[in-house]
């Protein structure tokens, strides 16, 4: 079956891993990102997928840009079967020190950009939905939405908002065959946190806690759960935010504990 997805944040981290997995599974992928240089490199790396990766420059922080981009996608494909909203930014500071520009950026990209993307994709998702195969929307929330941590207050608020958007979109859109869910990863090994965790550039970022599994997540750990949400097995799943955190948020592990 030919299936088509739009993935934001496709030039790095989780969005890049999701793009790769869907291409390998035969999907056509519109890969949206605002980083032209990395998008070009990613597209070159996916060249052997027969033109099924469509690099698409898009700033999800701009309503005009998102609207125009989905207009162009509609010219290229009559339907979308899935939209995966991975574009996001992290800015860290204690609340008293948080720069207002950074607060606005985090809210604009993580919350408003996610809303804009899903809203503008909706007509194509509805067009792709059938009773046997509902279209899917996957939003990227975070463990921070479920259990916030210090120095990431704006980020936690932006992701808590994504989780609430997910619930309401799911209730409003499921009747027209569009299933909306979100994932809440703990710390994932991607450039987003690598930059901030580097002691030479550290801005106070700390991981979201200790996973009892004994390691932080790789992007593929998150993509595996996405593939479930895209599968027939998830046909009755809507409005949830699924933690993919290796148990990090399950129970407090006091420092010095053996488990």
Ligand X SMILES: NC(=O)c1ccc[n+]([C@@H]2O[C@H](COP(=O)([O-])OP(=O)(O)OC[C@H]3O[C@@H](n4cnc5c(N)ncnc54)[C@H](O)[C@@H]3O)[C@@H](O)[C@H]2O)c1
Distance CA 38, CA 191 (A): 12
Query: Read out DSSP for 187-207?
Result: -B-SHHHHHHHSTTT--S---
**Could you say whether residue 152 binds ligand X (CB under 6 A)?**
no
Q: Which is nearer to ligand X, 120 or 187 (CB)?
A: 187
Residue 182 CB, shortest distance to ligand X, in Å, is 10
* Residues in contact with ligand X, shown as a per-residue x/- string from 158 to 187 under the rule CB under 6 A: ---------------------------x-x
User: Which 56-85 positions form the footprint of ligand X (CB under 6 A)?
Assistant: 58-61
4, 19, 28, 34: residue in contact with ligand X (rule CB under 6 A):
34
Query: Read out DSSP for 21-49?
Result: HHHHTT-EEEEEES-HHHHHHHHHHTGGG
35, 79, 227, 253: residue in contact with ligand X (rule CB under 6 A):
35
**Is 38 exposed, middle or buried, given 0-12, 13-18 or 19+ CB atoms closer than 10 A?**
middle
Residue 98 CB, shortest distance to ligand X, in Å, is 17
Q: Which is nearer to ligand X, 33 or 153 (CB)?
A: 33
User: Which 84-103 positions form the footprint of ligand X (CB under 6 A)?
Assistant: 86-89
* Residues in contact with ligand X, shown as a per-residue x/- string from 185 to 204 under the rule CB under 6 A: x-xx-xxxx-----------
Distance CA 128, CA 28 (A): 14
4, 12, 92, 211: residue in contact with ligand X (rule CB under 6 A):
12
**Token code pair at residue 165:** 């958007």
Residue 133 CB, shortest distance to ligand X, in Å, is 26
Phi (first) and psi of residue 126, to 5 degrees: -65, -40
Helix axis angle, 219-230 to 13-24, nearest 10°: 50
Residue 138: closest CA among 178, 182, 80: 182
Q: How big is the site for ligand X, counted in residues (CB under 6 A)?
A: 29
Distance CA 140, CA 211 (A): 19
Where do contacts with ligand X occur on this chain (CB under 6 A)?
8-9, 11-15, 33-35, 58-61, 86-89, 109, 113, 140, 142, 185, 187-188, 190-193
């Amino acid at each position: 079956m030919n299936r088509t997805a739009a993935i934001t944040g496709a030039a790095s981290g989780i969005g890049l891993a999701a793009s790769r997995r869907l291409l390998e599974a035969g999907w056509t992928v519109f890969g949206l990102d605002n980083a032209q240089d990395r998008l070009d490199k990613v597209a070159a790396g996916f060249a052997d997928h027969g033109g099924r990766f469509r690099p698409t420059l898009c700033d999800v922080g701009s309503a005009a840009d998102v609207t125009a981009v989905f207009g162009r996608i509609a010219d290229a494909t009559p339907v979308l079967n899935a939209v995966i909203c991975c574009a996001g930014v992290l800015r860290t500071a204690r609340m008293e020190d948080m720069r207002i520009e950074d607060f606005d950026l985090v809210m604009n990209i993580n919350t408003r950009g996610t809303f804009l993307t899903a809203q503008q994709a909706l007509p194509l998702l509805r067009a792709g939905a059938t009773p046997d195969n509902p279209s899917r929307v996957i939003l990227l929330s975070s463990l921070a939405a479920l259990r916030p941590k210090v120095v990431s207050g704006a980020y936690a608020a932006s992701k808590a908002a994504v989780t609430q958007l997910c619930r309401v979109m799911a209730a409003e859109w499921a009747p027209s065959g569009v299933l909306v869910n979100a994932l809440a990863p703990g710390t994932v090994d991607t450039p987003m946190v690598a930059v901030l965790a580097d002691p030479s550039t550290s801005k106070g970022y700390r991981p979201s806690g200790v996973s009892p599994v004994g390691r932080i997540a790789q992007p593929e750990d998150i993509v595996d759960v996405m593939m479930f949400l895209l599968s027939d097995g998830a046909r009755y799943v809507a409005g949830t935010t699924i933690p993919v955190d290796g148990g990090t948020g399950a129970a407090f592990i006091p420092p010095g504990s053996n488990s």
